[in-house]
Structure 1
């Protein structure tokens, strides 16, 4: 028997999946919140683009599956995943202990520190003492929200949650916020390099156990088949140099994986 047609993804399905499951893997549905450039953002025609999207599409190509992108509010991604609206989350989601109680994660995709953004003429620092009495904005459902509520609210910092990151930056520009808290690189490469961000700056990265930096794909618990497929594809992207090519496209010489 000629087994050359048994690619790794197909073989994995034959070995691990039932007949019903095997028929299901013609496509891979990723849930994402496309308001976080350069990682995930919307295109003019209603599609999605960005570093995370390119990685997701490369994973689908490696698995020889059709990639389908489903836009969703960030704070609703985990409930929607658990409800079966999509197969995995690819939306700059940090791996945390709280999230691991609800869902599983793939191997690490990349890492990114958290920082606050303030006006350049501001002396505000990312501490409760410095931000006391000030208003801090963040995208709801993020680790930055969890950190702000746990470490900053009790110190007198006023907190304001938003459905997406674009709304956070808009209120920062209009003066409704004194600072915003988000992934440092996301702020640098989207907002701070745009005309509206010309008068703003990033703080130093925040080091705290509540804001870990590892980003991965979210998967429903006990889905070892899909987890194995995704981890195999991620490994292949590194071995074939595809990951490095995508990273260079967006970040030049920056290394988000080995930083």
Structure 2
């Protein structure tokens, strides 16, 4: 082979290697438990779901080497602030309370919070309908904050769970009367189990439920936040976001 060609090939390979080496590694925290259709491990232990595809798309656009790092949900913010992970992509809502501790990217989806019950329960998603009922909810979530504020004490008994799946299973078994969570997470559950149904969305409370879901970031990590913001805007504009989303949803999950 011509010496000049060999030299050119070698130089090209060195350039690719240098580019790969220069890519910023970002440890992305996701909840360790399955949260379909957003994140869940497959039979081989590889993480799949809509948010994993979102992560892959924004990280490719931002030229970031993103590594999925499972963390227990109730410890995911401490993991971020203690530098064990660099970002959270785990359906974390942007709320004023969380923004006291961490920063967020621009939102990347926004869906309502709903109540699910056994079929034909007659329960409505409000204080009157949930009076004297047992409500299941995952700890360290906006839904826990909401039910505690709006349905706690004199209205209903609140039962807390470490994972959403545990709450779902207790509803299916009749150990709680209702559960509250994101509409898409519960939609996946009720479609997979004929026991239960979504009875409606709760009344919005922006102070608790927030303004959509964003990438959680450490305070002051402005450069990384801007990389995510630019990438989110770009994949929305170039059609990438819509393309991978259509395999999961028949509407625009981005919301209002």
The root-mean-square deviation of aligned C-alpha atoms, in Å, is 1.8
Tell me the equivalent position of 1:246.
244
Q: Which deviates the most, 206-215 or 223-232?
A: 206-215
CA contact (8 A) 1:54 1:246 kept: yes
- Give 1:204-223 correspondences, 5 Å limit: 204-209=200-205, 210-223=208-221
Give the TM-score normalised by the residue count of structure 1.
0.86
**2:59/2:65 contact within 8 Å kept:** yes
Structure-2 residue corresponding to 1:42: 41
Query: 1:218 Cα shift?
Result: 0.4
Task: State the SS of the aligned residue for 1:131.
Answer: coil
Residue of structure 2 aligned with 1:199, choices 190, 195, 212 = 195
Q: Deviations over 1:176-218 (max 9, x none)?
A: 1111100012111x21111xx2121112211232223511110
Q: Deviations 1:17-55 (Å, cap 9, x if unpaired)?
A: xxxxxx885322110114211011122222211111110
* Cα contact 2:127–2:151 (8 A) shared by 1: yes
What number of residue pairs does the alignment pair up?
235
The structure-2 alpha-carbon separation of the partners of 1:24 and 1:153, relative to structure 1 and needing over 3 Å to count, comes to: farther
The structural deviation recorded for 1:148 is: 0.9
2:126 touches 2:202 (CA, 8 Å); kept in 1?
Answer: no
Structure 1 Cα separation of the partners of residues 222 and 211 of structure 2? 24
Residue 28 (structure 2) aligns with:
30
Question: What TM-score does the superposition give when structure 2 sets the normalisation length?
Answer: 0.87
1:61-103 deviations in Å (ceiling 9; x for gaps): 1122322111112221111110111111000011111001110
Contact 1:128/1:155 (<8 A) preserved: no
Q: Which runs of 5+ in 1 are unaligned?
A: 1-9, 11-22
Moved over 6 A (4+): none
Structure 2 residue 86 is matched with structure 1 residue 87 = yes
In our comparison, the structure showing a higher alpha carbon Rg is: 2
Alpha-carbon distance change, 202 to 41 in structure 1, aligned in 2, over 3 angstroms: same
